[in-house]
Structure 1
């Protein structure tokens, strides 16, 4: 009889503790999840900080936290489950009465993007692990990962400076305050830029080679089509990602040089179906807004590039226009010639190792892939 009573007491105790811990385990339990920085660059390392505070007398014997994040955020040194675009990371805790625990996860940003950890799942149970309860907790931890910055002069080479196997160096981004020499006059140049002494020596009109001046802004025009007849979804994602890095590098250079900048893309960002065409402005806040647009670009195009470029040709004035594209055709060259006549300097940054050089308009610099990537 005593044995039966003892067994009954044990079962009652087990059931009671299970009821108490399952019902009150999350009571007065605070959870916070934040990134150590709200912004980072591709390849950069930062921390995800978890903070748990048990504000009651009752301890929490065990607690699991399921963090649902992007697969492009690598939690270094941990085992995680990856499904399609998501990553699931689980952490375990034991909290005493009125105990606060802070845990830091090392996170490596593998790819550009705007990543939001909307919620986590808390799972807790009793002393013996015989039962569990769960609850979703909203955290809304947002991280903007900007595209990586590259060395343009190492990645691209000028197509008209090849002499056999030797390459004559010509910088894509010049110092805006230094006159580096002279070049032949084109119809896009104003008369007050003519260098008369060099013109007399050469026997033809020459202008100062300082096209990059503080008066001119930078416009980065990115073509999201990896092929001329491509529609909607990007096929060669690697080339377009390189184009996004190229545009980011140009904007970063504009910030360092104190120049104004504009971004134009025939694609769209998450949550917006329209193409991108920003105002021209300067300053850190504006440039980082443009970098954020690049971070959030979807790998698809919303408008044929030739049509998009034609719409932009009459809007952009007195700018250094960088056309970042996987291909060049006669229509693109024709529109670029109109842009030059509007007082712009036009450069092609081609995301390929070959272009049809003879269709590039005179006075337009063109660069192709040929260096380190």
Structure 2
């Protein structure tokens, strides 16, 4: 009789715990994921913090917490992970009554982009591990991964070259109604700006200095239209990094920068045009736009999309970044040259690409071959 009674009691306990877990396992249970940063640069490390809280008397002896992130998130611990087109992680843990568990998962981001984690799935077993209950918790994690800034000697030389030409144009666009003072003559100064009265007093040539026209800016135009049958993903990312690096350097010199591109975003939409601006927040705006670019999508034809933008803005210094070199694009640059619009074309290339530049554009073209 005692054995029968024990069996009945065990069965009742089994039925009771099965009922309790099925009805109450997710009550006052919370699962939260958040990142230590919401913006990073390619190659930086950050931490995914996983917090699971059980605010009830019912213990949870076996929980599986699963979530999906990008395969470009490089976690050092791959024991509980599966990597295919995404990174799938599954952690097994247990929570006693009124217990909170926090896990910190460091990782490194390997690719530019915009990434989200929108849900976490939780699987709970009862005491006898005979039944599993599943529920998903919505998450709201988003991460902008900015392009890697280039830091190579050739970029310093390239920037100094561009900066010299930009400043030359800037000095020729002084506002004659905004007198700033008198300074020593420099080789780039026009003879008409010499103040002969001040020069006679000092014995050295002096010129009138004026504030610069407020509309002056550097306009960066990134062309990611594919010009060859073989896609050059490395050159696409190099071009995006060049756009970010040059924007950062011009802004550091106090020169306003605008940004335009024919590349589509991850949503399949035309990219936001970044109007002229300066400062740290303006660089963040440019970086966020660069993060959203989806080079897997076919870009708009550059000439059709950007022709009007290229042929306007006489106070702008246009910098093109483009591996695309077909006749329609180069003909547009020739029209700009004929219209006396200041520009330079940076041509990123590798050993698979031969640069064939129109003679009229060679003086305005810089070959970039760092890959």
Q: TM-score range by the shorter chain?
A: 0.7 to 0.9
Moved over 6 A (4+): 175-182
**Cα contact 1:152–1:246 (8 A) shared by 2:** no
The correspondence of residues 293-372 of structure 1 with structure 2, limited to 5 A, is: 293-299=289-295, 300-340=297-337, 344-353=341-350, 354-361=354-361, 363-369=363-369, 371=370
Distance 1:142 1:214 in 2: 40
SS of aligned partner of 2:50: strand
Change (3 A) 1:75 1:287: same
1:172 equivalent in alignment to 2:158: yes
Question: What's 1:81 paired with?
Answer: 82
The partner residue of 1:284 within 252, 258, 280 is 280
Distance in 1 (alpha carbons) for counterparts of 2:165 and 2:259: 27
Residues matched between the structures, number: 333
Deviation of residue 76 (structure 1)?
2.0
Superposed CA deviations along residues 221-258 of structure 1, whole A, max 9, x for unmatched, are 11112316x6xxx8222221111111111222233222
- Aligned to 1:220, the other structure's residue is in SS state strand
Q: CA RMSD in A?
A: 3.2
Normalised by the length of structure 1, the TM-score is 0.79
Q: Counterpart in 1 of 2:34?
A: 34
Gaps of 5+ in 2: 175-186, 192-211
The structure-2 alpha-carbon separation of the partners of 1:115 and 1:136, relative to structure 1 and needing over 3 Å to count, comes to: same
| 1:127 and 2:124 aligned | no
Distance 1:176 1:330, change over 3 A: closer
Deviation readout 1:271-293 (Å, 9 max, x if unpaired): 25224433122222222111111
| CA–CA separation in structure 2 for the residues paired with 1:326 and 1:105 | 39
CA positional deviation for 1:65: 0.6
Q: Distance in 1 between matches of 2:23 and 2:330?
A: 70
Unaligned runs of 5+ in 1: 156-169, 198-212
- Where in structure 2 are the equivalents of 1:96-115 lying within 5 Å? 96-115=96-115
Q: C-alpha distance in 2, partners of 1:143/1:196?
A: 50
TM-score when normalising by structure 2:
0.79
C-alpha distance 214-94 of structure 1, shift in aligned 2 (>3 A):
farther
Instruction: Give, in angstroms, the shift of residue 51 of structure 1.
Output: 1.2
